[in-house]
């Protein structure tokens, strides 16, 4: 009678241990994640394999460290100096993700805090390096796309051997000291006014040139016409015009040779 409770207790203990082993040995990696296996009784991190999504069975004394591997983002406001030493604030976002096939190396060499330990300092250094090449006016007006690309190039170069893939850098805002911003806006406004004045002046100049060319063309045409109108041609044109008038119903009598230069005279009903 005493052996039955002991056998039952042993069975219960065995079942509990089995459940613990199964739970400890079972790992589910969710979508957008990957795992790094740490072999406690072997050589530590399994550097040869990155474990993908799904269900995995591991030895209960080993450990699976899970990382997000889909694209992530980090945003920050950085105070940096322009080329002339003025402080500006750059508000930016970086899209990044760990290199999937190098995830074991990232875990072993950089650790789970790689974003704050590796990525953030690289972004800050790149931003300072790039922004330091430009004046506040360039940063405020026309260089944002260029700055984005240059920071991306700097970060990618810095992290090329750090097992981190940087996909894009977005510069969302560049904040200048209020006095500098006002001065730049006034200068830009004055430049626009100057451009508008130059445009109006150029348009007026072109219109004056057009009128001059038109007048010169008419003068040349009149000169050619005057040179070609001899007395005989004028008389012939006058006769033609008189004959056309004579065909009118209102004309009654045509006196040939009665007008100036021998042109016909048309006498009407009156």
Given a contact cutoff of 8 angstroms between Cβ atoms, the answer to whether 26 and 9 are in contact is no
E strand or H helix at 63, and its extent?
strand 63-68
User: Do 42 and 98 sit in the same domain of this protein?
Assistant: no
What would the pLDDT profile of 136-183 be if each residue is shown by its tens digit?
777 776 677 888 899 999 999 999 899 999 999 998 888 777 766 666
Asked if the structure places residue 8 within a domain, the reply is no
Is residue 195 domain-resident? no
Q: Of 172, 167, 134, 138, nearest to 153 (Cα)? A: 167
Residue 92 and residue 166 in contact, taking contact as beta carbons nearer than 8 Å? no
Q: How does DSSP assign 168-201, residue by residue?
A: EEEEEEEE--HHHHHHHHHHHHHHHHHHHHHHHH
Same domain, residue pair 164 and 251: no
Note whether residue 225 is domain-resident: no
Q: Are both 30 and 85 inside the same structural domain?
A: no
98/142 same-domain check: yes
Q: 77 and 41: one domain? A: no
Q: Hey, which of 69-73, 124-128, 185-189, 220-224 has the most confident mean pLDDT?
A: 69-73
Q: What is the mean pLDDT of the chain?
A: 79
DSSP class per residue in 68-135: E-S-EEEEEEEEEE-TTS-EEEEEEEEEEEE-GGGHHHHHHHT-TTHIIIIIHHHHHHHHHHHHTTS-
pLDDT exceeds 60 at position 237: yes
Residue 172 resides in a domain: yes
> What's the rounded Cα separation, in Å, for the pair 266 and 35?
115
Query: Which pLDDT value is given to residue 224?
Result: 74
pLDDT band at 114 (very low <50, low <70, confident <90, very high): very high
Cβ atoms of residues 7 and 28 within 8 Å: no
**Which pLDDT score is estimated for 185?**
57
Measured between its terminal Cα atoms, the distance across the chain in Å is 161
Question: Which pLDDT score, from 0 to 100, does residue 159 have?
Answer: 93
Does residue 90 lie within any of the structural domains?
yes
Q: What is the total count of domains within the chain?
A: 3
In a 13 Å sphere around the CA of 238, the CA atoms on its Cβ side amount to: 18
In a domain, 99, yes or no: yes
Structural domain contains residue 207: no
- Name the nearest CA neighbour of 152 among 176, 168, 132: 168
Residue where one domain finishes, among candidates 161, 176, 191: 176
Identify the pLDDT of residue 174: 80
Q: Is the pLDDT of residue 95 over 70?
A: yes
Same domain, 80 and 162: yes
Q: How far apart are CA 75 and CA 170, in angstroms?
A: 9
Domain that holds residue 157: 72-176
End residue of a domain, out of 36, 67, 98 = 67
Same domain, 78 and 140: yes
- The pLDDT tens digits for 36-55 are 999 988 889 999 999 999 98
Tell me, what's the pLDDT at 1?
Answer: 45
Q: Is the pLDDT of residue 216 over 90?
A: no
Average pLDDT of the residues in 7-29: 70
Judge if 245 and 160 occupy the same domain.
no
CA dist list (Å): 89 to 23, 131, 141, 178: 50, 10, 15, 12
Task: Tell me the C-alpha distance between 58 and 61, whole Å.
Answer: 8
- With beta carbons less than 8 A apart as the criterion, state whether 40 and 62 touch: yes
Q: What integer is the mean pLDDT of 118-133?
A: 90
pLDDT at residue 97 greater than cutoff 90: yes
Based on the fold, state whether residues 85 and 132 are members of the same structural domain: yes
Indicate whether 264 belongs to any domain.
Answer: yes
């Amino acid at each position: 009678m005493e052996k039955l409770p002991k056998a039952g207790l042993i069975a219960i203990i065995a079942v509990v241990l089995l459940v613990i082993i199964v739970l400890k040995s079972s790992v589910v990696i969710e979508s957008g994640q990957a795992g790094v296996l740490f072999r406690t009784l072997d050589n530590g991190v399994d550097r040869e394999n990155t474990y993908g999504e799904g269900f995995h069975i591991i030895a209960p004394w080993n450990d699976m460290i899970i990382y997000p591997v889909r694209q992530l983002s980090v945003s920050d406001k950085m105070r940096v100096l322009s080329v002339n030493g003025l402080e500006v604030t750059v508000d930016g976002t970086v899209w990044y993700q760990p290199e999937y096939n190098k995830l074991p190396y990232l875990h072993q060499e950089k650790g789970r805090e790689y974003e704050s330990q590796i990525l953030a300092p690289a972004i800050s250094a790149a931003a300072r390096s790039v922004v330091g090449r430009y004046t506040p006016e360039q940063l405020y007006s026309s260089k944002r796309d260029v700055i984005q690309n240059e920071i991306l190039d700097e970060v990618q170069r810095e992290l090329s051997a750090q097992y981190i893939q940087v996909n894009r850098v977005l510069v969302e805002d560049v904040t200048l000291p209020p006095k500098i911003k006002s001065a730049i806006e006034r200068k830009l406004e004055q430049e626009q006014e100057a451009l508008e004045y130059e445009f109006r002046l150029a348009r007026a100049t072109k219109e004056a040139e057009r009128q001059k060319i038109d007048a010169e063309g008419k003068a040349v045409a009149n000169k050619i016409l005057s040179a070609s109108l001899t007395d005989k041609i004028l008389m012939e044109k006058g006769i033609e015009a008189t004959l056309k008038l004579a065909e009118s119903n209102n004309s009654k009598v045509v006196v040939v040779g009665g007008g100036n230069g021998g042109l016909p005279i048309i006498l009407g009903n009156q």
